[in-house]
Every structure is written in structure tokens, then in C-alpha cells.
A and B are shown apart, each in its own frame.
Chain A
């Protein structure tokens, strides 16, 4: 059973470009969470999605950031018109349906560098 798969592992973008980060949850998991980690800091919650639904996006900046988890395919975190401050490690986590005593399983992250 493959774990949470994120790609790319490293992404370099110039200011003003778009960044698209992908996350495939573990098999059987229908809940996806995105976190951002700045150097020497903990993980900050960004958004929580189920298939075709955004459940909680309270941690995501209102502008330039969006996320989706379509019926088919991976979850996508999209950052438009990137700025240097967007440079960080972005982690995706997945869990089974809530109420089953689920735990979070994290992917290896995408390191975004904005030049």
C-alpha cells in the first residue's frame, strides 16, 4: 500500500509564475489536508478537502492560493503569481473517513523555491 505521494519533490519558480503541487492520498483515504512549513517552524494548517469539496480553508491565504480534490486524480494546491514569501515546504496528509479513529499520514512534501 503506497503512502501519500507528493510531486514534485522540488519546484523552482520565478516571481509571478504559477506553482502547482500534487498530492495523491493513501489508498482508501478520502480526506486530504495541506500544511505549510517554514524553516525552523512547525506545520501550519492550510486547507482540508474531501472529494470535490473544500471542508475548511481557514488557514489558506484568501488571494493567489486555491486547492481542489477532484473526483478523479490527485489533490492540487495551486499558487498563482508566486512571491518570495511563498518559498516553503508544502506537506499533504491524508486520513480515512472521519469517525473511524483515523490518524494523519504525511507525504514527503514539495519544497517550493521562488527566485
Chain B
């Protein structure tokens, strides 16, 4: 089965700096990679996703890159703000409709210091 590893487990940055979270996956059949943000006391919320037919996707201050050859993908947050503080999870699945086959990383706790 798929194995998703996520690093770092904790990350602290100064407000305005960039934050990068990296994930690797093991199953070359995986082709859908969503990122979720989980705030305290809430469920995970999808913030961005990417499919393996593209190498990069951007949405305002958030971007995700994918290296299919190396089987790793990363989340980039620029100009971080205190409200970006949360736990971020990466995930991988064989296709977008296979939510029962969505494998999650162990999470990164991001703290943005004002």
C-alpha cells in the first residue's frame, strides 16, 4: 500500500517569511495529492490539490509543487500570517475519486510568530 511521509513535524516561522512542508510517497500509481489545513478543534479543510499531470499549482499565497520522478511534493506558503498557524496534512491517492484510498501524512504543526 501507499506510504506517505511528511516533514518537518513542527515548523516555526516569523510572520512574513515563507514556510515549506515536504512529503514523499511510495506508490507510483498515486496521481492525486491534496493538502489539508486543520485548525484547533476543527476538521481538516482542503486548501489546495494537484494532479500528476501538472508540476506546480498556485493559489494566492499557497503553492504546491510535484516531482513525480522523485515521488515528492511540497507545500509553499509565502508571506505567512498568524492565521496560517495550524496543522497541515499532505495526502496521496490513486485518483481523485478514490477517497477511501487517501493516505495521509502525519502532519506539520506550523506556528507563525507575529
Pick the contact of B41: A4, A58, A108 (CB < 8 A).
A108
Judged by a CB distance under 8 angstroms, whether A107 is at the interface is yes
Given contacts A4-B43, A45-B100, A91-B43, contact A103 B49 (CB under 8 A): yes
Quick one: which of A45-84 are within 8 Å of B by CB? 45, 48, 55-56, 58
Establish whether residues B104 and A43, one from each chain, have CB atoms under 8 Å apart when the complex forms: yes
Establish whether residues B106 and A108, one from each chain, have CB atoms under 8 Å apart when the complex forms: no
Return A92 CB to nearest CB of chain B, in Å: 8
Residues in chain B near residue A98, CB distance under 8 A? 97
Pick the contact of A95: B9, B41, B99, B104 (CB < 8 A).
B99
Residues in chain B near residue A85, CB distance under 8 A? none
Which one of B36, B89, B96 has the greatest number of beta carbons of chain A within 10 Å?
A: B96
Interface string of B96-114 (1 = CB under 8 A from A): 1101111111110000000
Bound-state Cα–Cα, A4 to B105, Å: 22
Bound-state Cα–Cα, A45 to B98, Å: 12
A side interface size, CB within 8 A? 28
Establish whether residues A33 and B43, one from each chain, have CB atoms under 8 Å apart when the complex forms: no
Establish whether residues B99 and A42, one from each chain, have CB atoms under 8 Å apart when the complex forms: no
Judged by a CB distance under 8 angstroms, whether B46 is at the interface is yes
Bound-state Cα–Cα, A40 to B42, Å: 15
Pick the contact of A48: B42, B89, B99 (CB < 8 A).
B99
Bound-state Cα–Cα, A29 to B36, Å: 20
Bound-state Cα–Cα, A33 to B96, Å: 14
Pick the contact of B43: A48, A102, A103, A106 (CB < 8 A).
A106
Q: List 25 A-B contacts (CB under 8 A).
A: A31-B99, A40-B9, A40-B107, A41-B107, A42-B4, A42-B104, A42-B106, A42-B107, A43-B104, A44-B104, A45-B100, A45-B101, A45-B102, A58-B100, A91-B43, A93-B43, A95-B99, A99-B97, A102-B96, A102-B97, A103-B96, A104-B34, A104-B102, A105-B46, A106-B43
Query: What 4 A-B pairs are tightest by C-beta distance, nearest first?
Result: A106-B43, A42-B104, A48-B100, A56-B100
